């Protein structure tokens, strides 16, 4: 039985991944930010260790205590809006985080396989033409978040070249699924639609950037891709994890509205994001399909409907949270 350390395990994607790995017979250890989260997971019979990726010493101790054969690194800032407003904090969680994990592996488990989550944001303006992006597309980030992820990727390449670590990079595009928290764009939209009260809210839902085109996968598909890469991906390769299909954010939110059965009109607000907006971000999944045989098969429409149903089951009276005032971008936790 192989031991897998998953950093950022308490996040959205991380929580789905640890369950999928456990079901497949892996010995999974969840890396979390503090003792409170560690105890919460242990109460659910999930092994956990404190692993604050911005603290190199803490990461080294966590890796030494677990001695994993596989490390999946999902931890770090997952919100481009946060990176824009707190760039130093984002640098520590993204760039320093990758360096800390890589160096801990170099020192303690140099033969371990590492899967590190980057972001489709690294492509930046390369996506503006509307053509699905292959991994060979130019790295031209236009946001702080994308630039930090690109810097982290370069560090991973250095560790492969100089220390011969078994490193793979994933560039996930957007994901969605039932239970996605309110601070994610689609999670927030699903919550607001599910709890919409026309007598209180009227019939107009105002959201920014509805004309932006995005590539969205059910989170279960993202997890399946990660598992396949862990088992048979190639070292020193960056893989897109995406559907290969672009849909406007308006189309996706309207799908949620139809599933709710409510009469709500969408109105587009101007973005308040002062960083350059990515109007089109769609990937090509040909490489991961060729190397490990992964292709998405689940319905995104069903996923969007399930997101609304999830929030409809939340007890009445829970306050809604406005969607972020930026177009949705990839999220990793």
84 Cβ neighbours under 8 A, 6+ residues apart: 143, 144, 145, 273, 274, 275
Select from 153, 54, 154, 51 the least CA-distant residue to 108. Answer: 51
The confidence score (pLDDT) of residue 319 equals: 45
Q: Can you tell me the distance from the alpha carbon of 239 to that of 280, in angstroms, rounded to the nearest whole number?
A: 19
What CATH fold (topology level) applies to the domain 178-215+246-312?
UDP-galactose 4-epimerase; domain 1 (3.90.25)
Select from 77, 18, 8 the least CA-distant residue to 223. Answer: 18
Q: pLDDT band for 320, please (50, 70, 90 cuts).
A: very low
Which residue has better confidence, 209 or 49?
49
Q: Can you tell me the distance from the alpha carbon of 174 to that of 190, in angstroms, rounded to the nearest whole number?
A: 15
The confidence score (pLDDT) of residue 270 equals: 79
| Boundaries of every domain in the chain | 3-174+216-241, 178-215+246-312
Q: pLDDT band for 206, please (50, 70, 90 cuts).
A: very high
CB 304 within 8 A of CB 255: yes
| Percent of the chain clearing pLDDT 70 (strictly above) | 92
Asked if pLDDT for residue 309 goes beyond 60, the answer is yes
Locate 52 and state its tokens: 């604050």
Asked if pLDDT for residue 26 goes beyond 70, the answer is yes
The confidence score (pLDDT) of residue 80 equals: 77
**Long-range contacts at 14-21 (CB < 8 A, ≥ 24 apart):** 14/74, 14/75, 14/333, 16/177, 16/219, 16/220, 16/222, 16/223, 17/72, 17/74, 17/223, 17/226, 17/227, 18/46, 20/223, 20/224, 20/227, 21/227
State whether CATH 3.40.50.720 applies to domain 3-174+216-241. yes
Mean pLDDT of 267-287: 82
Mean pLDDT of 313-320: 60
């Amino acid at each position: 039985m192989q031991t897998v350390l998953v950093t950022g395990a308490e996040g959205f994607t991380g929580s789905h991944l640890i369950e999928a790995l456990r079901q497949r017979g892996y010995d999974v250890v969840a890396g979390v930010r503090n003792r409170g989260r560690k105890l919460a997971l242990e109460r659910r019979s999930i092994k956990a260790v404190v692993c604050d990726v911005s603290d190199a010493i803490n990461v080294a101790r966590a890796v030494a205590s677990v001695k994993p054969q596989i490390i999946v690194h999902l931890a770090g800032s997952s919100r481009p809006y946060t990176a824009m407003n707190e760039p130093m904090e984002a640098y520590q969680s993204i760039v320093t985080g990758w360096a800390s994990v890589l160096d801990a592996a170099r020192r303690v488990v140099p033969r371990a396989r590492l899967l590190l989550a980057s972001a489709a944001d690294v492509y930046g303006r390369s996506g503006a033409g509307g053509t699905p992006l292959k991994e060979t597309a130019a790295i031209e980030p236009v946001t702080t978040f994308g630039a930090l992820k690109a810097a982290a990727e370069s560090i991973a390449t250095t560790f492969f070249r100089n220390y011969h670590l078994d490193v793979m990079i994933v560039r996930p595009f957007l994901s969605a699924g039932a239970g996605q928290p309110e601070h994610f764009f689609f999670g927030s939209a699903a919550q607001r639609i599910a709890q919409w009260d026309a007598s209180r809210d009227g019939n107009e839902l105002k959201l920014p950037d509805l004309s932006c085109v995005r590539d969205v996968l059910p989170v279960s598909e993202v997890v399946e891709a990660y598992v396949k890469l862990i088992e048979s991906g190639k070292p020193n390769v960056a893989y897109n994890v995406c559907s290969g299909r672009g849909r406007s954010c308006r189309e996706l939110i309207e799908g949620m509205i139809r599933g709710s059965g409510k009469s709500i009109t969408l109105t587009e607000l101007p973005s308040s994001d002062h960083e350059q907006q990515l109007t089109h971000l769609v990937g090509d999944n040909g490489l991961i399909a060729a190397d490990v045989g992964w292709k998405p098969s689940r319905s995104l429409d069903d996923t969007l409907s399930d997101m609304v149903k999830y929030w409809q089951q939340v007890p009445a009276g829970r306050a809604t949270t406005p969607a972020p005032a930026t177009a949705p971008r990839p999220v990793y936790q």
